[in-house]
Amino acid sequence: MLALLAVSAALACSGCGTAGQGPNAPAHKPAAPNGPQVLLDQNSAPGWPNHPGATVWLDQAEYHLLARQPAHFVAIRAPLIDAPAEMQVSARFHKVGGPHGGGYGLIVDDRGTSRGDGLDQHGEYVVAEVGDNGDVGLWRRENMRWIDLLAWTPSSTVAANRAANQLDVRTMGTRVVFFVNGIQVADVDAGITGPNVGAFAGGDGNEVVLERFSVQSLPTAPQPRQARAQSQSPSGAPPAPSAPPAADPSGWQRIQQLVMGIATDVDGIYQSVAAGPNDPHSPVNDRSALTDDAQRLGAAQDKARQLEDELQKLQQFGPSSP
């Protein structure tokens, strides 16, 4: 089931050659047009910062981020090559340690003014984050200070505590659109652009695992059509009717996001019951697990209703041209 949940998104980075990092990885092969460039999954994490015993490290095919020092966060830059001008960055995280109140998320529009190694606290970038208490937020980092774009806001789309969350961020100029488990939670003007992307973790002692990270070019917006000159065919017959409009590619992307979000919710419920009713952390014995499962079920139902609406919208379009 986990393979079903993997979402294509990717990270962006200009050279991350910092102390403690492994040898430079070979260049990633270009993705197919508009296809995802996967930079990290459970099988490989080439080119990422790696500081065992510090803030970021690869351990048994899991890439960990740990806010080890009080009042310090972890910001890492992804090894992305040929970042598209407009992109969708996607990642799947889950919390594995630390007290309640921590968060994790995506870095976009990174201008590359910091080292991006998981240690440096400087930078110019945007962070789209979820908290393990069920909140979402966006901030802009300006050197050593934070600027609120969206202060912490409760959201039922977030799988709380240690459940996994799928995060997607679309950047279009200075516009940043944030999705959690397939549901849009924010659309802001960040007032900044940059070619790099990455991952973030914050909250004293917060430890998270980054399961998968990728970047995908967004479809080019259609150009306005020019008005056609009033004319007739040589025979005097009226012009042939125009073909029906093609389906909007963003609608299909929306459907994919919703399906992925439903799969994530269902998998979270499955994981909570997989060990059986005698497990102390099952919803039978753990009231917080029961509450989490109820929230996931409600979120899945909301996504299913939105999915039905999106599919109905597509029915007005004919099949795509070959």
Contact 126, 176 (CB under 8 A): yes
Statement to judge: residues 256 and 122 lie in one domain: no
Q: Look up residue 159 and give its amino acid.
A: A
Statement to judge: residues 205 and 277 lie in one domain: no
Statement to judge: residues 12 and 137 lie in one domain: yes
Statement to judge: residues 188 and 269 lie in one domain: no
**Which tokens hold the place of 303?**
């996504």
Torsion sign over Cα 48, 49, 51, 54: negative
Total structural domains in the chain? 2
Instruction: Walk along the chain (322 residues) and give the pLDDT tens digit of each residue.
Output: 333 333 333 333 333 333 333 323 333 333 434 556 777 666 566 789 999 899 999 987 789 999 999 999 999 999 987 778 799 999 999 999 999 999 999 999 999 999 999 999 999 999 999 999 999 999 999 999 999 999 999 999 999 999 999 999 999 999 999 999 999 999 999 999 999 999 999 999 999 999 999 999 887 544 333 333 333 334 444 444 444 445 555 666 677 777 877 877 787 787 778 778 888 877 888 877 787 777 778 777 777 877 777 777 666 554 443 3
Contact 103, 130 (CB under 8 A): yes
Statement to judge: residues 107 and 189 lie in one domain: yes
Q: 99, 92, 97, 98: which is closest to 130 by C-alpha?
A: 92
Q: What is the pLDDT of residue 266?
A: 82
Q: Give the separation between CA 183 and CA 302, rounded to whole angstroms.
A: 9
Question: Would residue 232 count as lying in a domain?
Answer: no
Question: Would residue 272 count as lying in a domain?
Answer: yes
Q: What is the pLDDT of residue 6?
A: 34
Statement to judge: residues 282 and 191 lie in one domain: no
Residue with the two structure tokens 């029906």: 244
Q: pLDDT digit string (tens) for 118-154?
A: 999 999 999 999 999 999 999 999 999 999 999 999 9
Contact 219, 34 (CB under 8 A): yes
Nearest-10 Cα torsion for 311, 312, 313, 317: 90
Statement to judge: residues 57 and 98 lie in one domain: yes
Can you give the CATH number for the domain in which 68 is found? Answer: 2.60.120.560
Domain around 96: 2-217
Question: Would residue 93 count as lying in a domain?
Answer: yes
